[in-house]
Structure 1
Amino acid sequence: MTYSFLHARRLALTLATGVALTVSAVSPSQAAVKVQHLISPGGIEAWFVQDVAVPLIAMEFAFAGGAAQDPSDKSGVSTLVGGLLDEGSGDLDSRTFHERLERRAIGLSFRATSDVFRGSLRMLRDNKDEAFDLLRMALTSPHFETADVERVRSQVISSLRRDTTDPTALASRKFLEIAFRDHPYRRQANGTLESVPTITVADLKDYTSRVIAKDALKIAVVGDVDQVTLGKLLDQTFGTLPAKAKLKPVADIEAAAPPQLVFIPLDVPQSVIAFGGPGVRRGDPDFMAAYVVNHILGGAGLSSRLYHEVREKRGLAYSVSESLLWMDHSAVVIGRTGTRADRAGETISAIERETRRIAEEGPTQKELDEAKSYLKGSQMLELDTSTKLAHALLQYQIDKLPIDYIEKQNAIVDAVTLDDARHAARRLWGRGLLTVVVGRAPQAVAQPAGVPAPSSN
């Protein structure tokens, strides 16, 4: 799968918890979208699109910090907080809180990614007062009752135990560990089997007191509500939060230089291969060229070079893809595929040859033109519901893009030249690949030329 630049960037295997409600209200066409910069009477800012076509409201919001703010020895704190904010707050216990959500068909969820602690709120227009009030209580007076903490903790631990026998999870986790060494980005948001049992209620309270604050808040709202009403709701919901977050500084880091090859033994029918290397951050002038050329090499659909070489030409795997993932302080490209253990070496070699070829030669003009056409067309599908539009508008804010980015993005894609794409390809893959293989028999993994002998986990 390829990550659209309208999608929030996610590190693999981030655990999302909470109550979810899918809203499929059709939003205005891209041409008709008018994004407003709303400032409430109390100074709460939001990007807002009023859409009266369907009586629904979708809000996406995020606080800076995310899993990178977890204590170094207690990864998973942010995920537990995300699973517990709606487990009782104010004068409502967990059962009563969820009954009120369900009775009004209100969707409320929280989750942590590497750089932000995110929330989603969905409701019918007529239930907006109750929905926003429940969110206010969740943010300002969560209970963190022992029984609720232990229940959510057990769910996270069960997921982590499943991951110990999941080759995709193991490959993704190891890739990040290699790429980011001792940086917070090496840690998964859902923690580890060692860290999650040690997290205390005091840790949860400390995290919320440091991260959930007004100066770290971004909001996007799409739906059937007017500016005046929305301003009042935002003040009532977020107005009593602390003014300033107390975030620990996070350093910039470039992913570890390739080539590297690591093998993790696991007795599974099919080996999983994760591959990639340093990427390009969102604010980098080369970002869009990197995004386009990555689509050519390993993007969605059946036309990428890797799909042709690995699946169609050689029948080595059912699927293969590579994505560009960007965070506030770094970026990586990461791809995944699965194959028979006795063909893992052949698969790695095919991937390595194709990435080396595009690094040396770049794409063709035809490939560039087709990739641009696909990306411009697919972005329309990313804005066809109120939920997707709110999600995109929040991501633009997180990425520090202008409020009129929707109107500009096609022109930015079009502006990528063949020289730009070739430069980006050399930058992404010119040094080779970081590769992690999870599966049977290390002797089945042949070494690509120039890659050091694989180490085992």
Structure 2
Amino acid sequence: MSLQFIKRIFTSGVFLISANVMLSVTSAHAAVNIQQWQTSVGSEVYFVENHDLPILDISVNFPAGSARDTADKSGLASITRYLMTLGAAGMTDEVIANKFADIGAVLGGSFDTDRAALSLRTLSSERERLQALGLFANILQKPDFPESVLAREKARIISGLEESSTQPESISNKAFMSALYGKHPYSLDESGEIDTVAKIKKEDLQAFYQQFYSAKGAVIAIIGDLTREQAQQVAELVSVGLPTTPAPAPIASVPAKNQAKEQRIAHPASQSHILLGHTGIKRNDPDLFPLYVGNYILGGGGFVSRLTEEVREKRGLVYSVYSYFMPMAEAGPFQIGLQTKKDQAEAALALVHETLEKFLNNGVTEAELKAAKSNIIGGFPMRIDSNKKILDYLNVIGFYKLPLNYLDEYNKKVENVTAAQIKDAFNRRLKHDHFVTVIVGDPKAE
């Protein structure tokens, strides 16, 4: 994409978006003023104007995470996203890196089960901004997927998979997700498998890109030193050349889990790595805040949580213990994890079950609830104290279609959580007798 073409987009007096395409500005009237609209090709845009620093941050999110893989080509999604940055519009990865370095811009990205994203940070001054955005648009719209780079990266990934196959943390995570999700795509490893990665071809990357990197499925998050008009121009620039295929269909629902499963895996490590849990909640679940606040008390609040107090501090049975809900497009996992000496594994696991059972039966105390709310609300300003952090929230709000006032309402929703709501939500959403348990480094399996 030429610099002259980019300049025409940004300076043309005929740069117009019709009223039936452009949505009205919707704002969150408090700490973060989020504006939202749609580009001429159907991409959703979420923008926060901030002139404190001469910086522009942009991230383009696609429904192209590992849940879009198939069992026979697991790893395709992550390779596609990564190789987009290693060759585009005839430029090699070295040329791309040097061009960004010359103007002080930083190309980044992220990848998880639901999403694939590419991001850019650049100075907002015209020269740097236009050059950086031109490069960024080429990477998004004209990936080359060079054969030599694909072969190199497949070898690197396979080497990493071979190494991770010996590590207890990787073994336990893979076994846990497989046991929890069965044949649902959430069970697939984000990096793929050795045999599936080995057979991925350039044509597979091209087909995946065309299907899942469409303009109609893209969510663009922008924050920084731009006016609304400039942000509209940026969003058009990065979206107009994306594939015109339909937006991908939603991920399949996660089947309800109705029976327990336990897997014990031998490993020579001196520690046992234990994971147990249950399918949890979606990102927009109405129980999210009661479960979030309740889990802070159970195992998400570090040294102030019950699991840490009971299992680590009082009995000294573990090196670490935690719990969390991972809300996703469909029901993400609720997970408890711990590491302990092999000869203490059974005692530690039994105490975790006992602590969870008491939590489900008795709920939380008002003192615990008050302390949890204070800590969560007190730490909230640090979650939005930089453009990068706000950009991350824009990505989540846009991709999961959360309310634009999500950040404004966050503390209020935390404050409104009651002990009764926590007990009710936990008992409805977690069936303790249906938990999946994985123990890697289990003496009984050796």
Q: Alpha carbon RMSD of aligned pairs, Å?
A: 1.9
How far is 1:31 from its partner?
4.6
Give the gaps of 5 or more residues in structure 1: 1-29, 445-457
Provide the residue aligned with 1:51 in structure 2.
50
Provide the residue aligned with 1:153 in structure 2.
154
How far is 1:417 from its partner?
1.4
How many equivalent pairs are there? 415
Structure 1 residues 346-390: Cα deviation after superposition (integer angstroms, max 9, x where no partner): 110111100111111111111112112222222221111101101
Structure 1 residues 376-430: Cα deviation after superposition (integer angstroms, max 9, x where no partner): 2222211111011011111012222111211111111122111101112213444
Contact 1:356/1:429 (8 A) holds in 2:
no
Provide the residue aligned with 2:437 in structure 1.
435
Provide the residue aligned with 1:27 in structure 2.
none
Contact 1:115/1:328 (8 A) holds in 2:
yes
Structure 1 Cα separation of the partners of residues 135 and 55 of structure 2: 17
Provide the residue aligned with 1:247 in structure 2.
248
Provide the residue aligned with 1:128 in structure 2.
129
Q: Does 1:261 align with 2:250?
A: no
Structure 1 Cα separation of the partners of residues 160 and 440 of structure 2: 19
How far is 1:259 from its partner?
3.2
Contact 1:70/1:207 (8 A) holds in 2:
no
Provide the residue aligned with 2:321 in structure 1.
320
SS of 1:391's partner is helix
Structure 1 Cα separation of the partners of residues 354 and 259 of structure 2: 15
Q: Does 1:82 align with 2:100?
A: no
Go from structure 1 to structure 2 and tell me whether the alpha carbon gap of 1:262 and 1:211 turns closer, same or farther (over 3 Å shift). same
SS of 2:345's partner is helix
Provide the residue aligned with 2:426 in structure 1.
425
Give, as a single letter, the amino acid of the residue that structure 1 aligns with 2:386.
T
User: In terms of mean alpha carbon deviation, does 192-201 or 326-335 score higher?
Assistant: 326-335
Structure 1 Cα separation of the partners of residues 379 and 174 of structure 2: 30
Structure 2 Cα separation of the partners of residues 96 and 345 of structure 1: 55
SS of 1:173's partner is helix
Structure 1 Cα separation of the partners of residues 146 and 321 of structure 2: 44
Go from structure 1 to structure 2 and tell me whether the alpha carbon gap of 1:47 and 1:170 turns closer, same or farther (over 3 Å shift). same
Contact 1:57/1:223 (8 A) holds in 2:
yes
Contact 1:356/1:430 (8 A) holds in 2:
no
Give, as a single letter, the amino acid of the residue that structure 2 aligns with 1:107.
V
Structure 1 Cα separation of the partners of residues 316 and 230 of structure 2: 58
Q: How does 1:118-197 map to 2 (within 5 A)?
A: 118-126=117-125, 127-197=128-198
SS of 1:326's partner is coil
Go from structure 1 to structure 2 and tell me whether the alpha carbon gap of 1:339 and 1:85 turns closer, same or farther (over 3 Å shift). same
Provide the residue aligned with 2:34 in structure 1.
35
Contact 2:342/2:441 (8 A) holds in 1:
yes
Structure 1 residues 20-64: Cα deviation after superposition (integer angstroms, max 9, x where no partner): xxxxxxxxxx95422222445666441111111111111122112
Q: How does 1:395-434 map to 2 (within 5 A)?
A: 395-432=396-433, 433-434=435-436
Greater relative CO (CA pairs within 8 A, separation 6+) = 1
Give the gaps of 5 or more residues in structure 2: 1-28
SS of 2:303's partner is coil
Structure 2 Cα separation of the partners of residues 86 and 430 of structure 1: 43
Provide the residue aligned with 1:16 in structure 2.
none
Give, as a single letter, the amino acid of the residue that structure 2 aligns with 1:95.
E
Structure 1 residues 147-195: Cα deviation after superposition (integer angstroms, max 9, x where no partner): 1111221222222122112111111111100110011010011101121
Contact 2:275/2:337 (8 A) holds in 1:
yes
Q: Does 1:300 align with 2:301?
A: yes
Contact 2:141/2:243 (8 A) holds in 1:
no
SS of 2:241's partner is coil
Contact 1:69/1:248 (8 A) holds in 2:
no
Structure 2 Cα separation of the partners of residues 318 and 378 of structure 1: 26
Superposition TM-score, scaled by structure 2 size = 0.88
Contact 2:39/2:239 (8 A) holds in 1:
no
Contact 1:263/1:437 (8 A) holds in 2:
yes
SS of 1:61's partner is strand
Structure 2 Cα separation of the partners of residues 39 and 210 of structure 1: 20
How far is 1:102 from its partner?
2.1
Provide the residue aligned with 1:280 in structure 2.
281
Structure 2 Cα separation of the partners of residues 287 and 302 of structure 1: 22
Q: If you compute each CA radius of gyration, which structure gives the higher value, 1 or 2?
A: 2
Contact 2:281/2:327 (8 A) holds in 1:
yes
SS of 2:432's partner is coil
Provide the residue aligned with 1:107 in structure 2.
106
Structure that is richer in helix per residue: 2
Structure 1 residues 113-145: Cα deviation after superposition (integer angstroms, max 9, x where no partner): 222222221112232212211121112111111
Go from structure 1 to structure 2 and tell me whether the alpha carbon gap of 1:257 and 1:303 turns closer, same or farther (over 3 Å shift). farther
Give, as a single letter, the amino acid of the residue that structure 2 aligns with 1:342.
D
Superposition TM-score, scaled by structure 1 size = 0.86
How far is 1:91 from its partner?
2.9
Structure 2 Cα separation of the partners of residues 218 and 443 of structure 1: 47
Contact 2:283/2:330 (8 A) holds in 1:
no
Q: How does 1:346-385 map to 2 (within 5 A)?
A: 346-385=347-386
How far is 1:256 from its partner?
3.1
Q: How does 1:4-43 map to 2 (within 5 A)?
A: 31-40=30-39
How far is 1:65 from its partner?
3.5
Contact 1:171/1:437 (8 A) holds in 2:
yes
Structure 1 residues 221-246: Cα deviation after superposition (integer angstroms, max 9, x where no partner): 11111122221122122112123336
Q: Which runs of 4+ in 1 moved over 4 A?
A: 38-44
Go from structure 1 to structure 2 and tell me whether the alpha carbon gap of 1:255 and 1:376 turns closer, same or farther (over 3 Å shift). farther
Contact 1:220/1:394 (8 A) holds in 2:
yes
Structure 2 Cα separation of the partners of residues 42 and 188 of structure 1: 32
Contact 2:216/2:247 (8 A) holds in 1:
no
Structure 1 residues 240-285: Cα deviation after superposition (integer angstroms, max 9, x where no partner): 2123336355320146345332111111121111111121223322
Structure 2 Cα separation of the partners of residues 419 and 62 of structure 1: 37
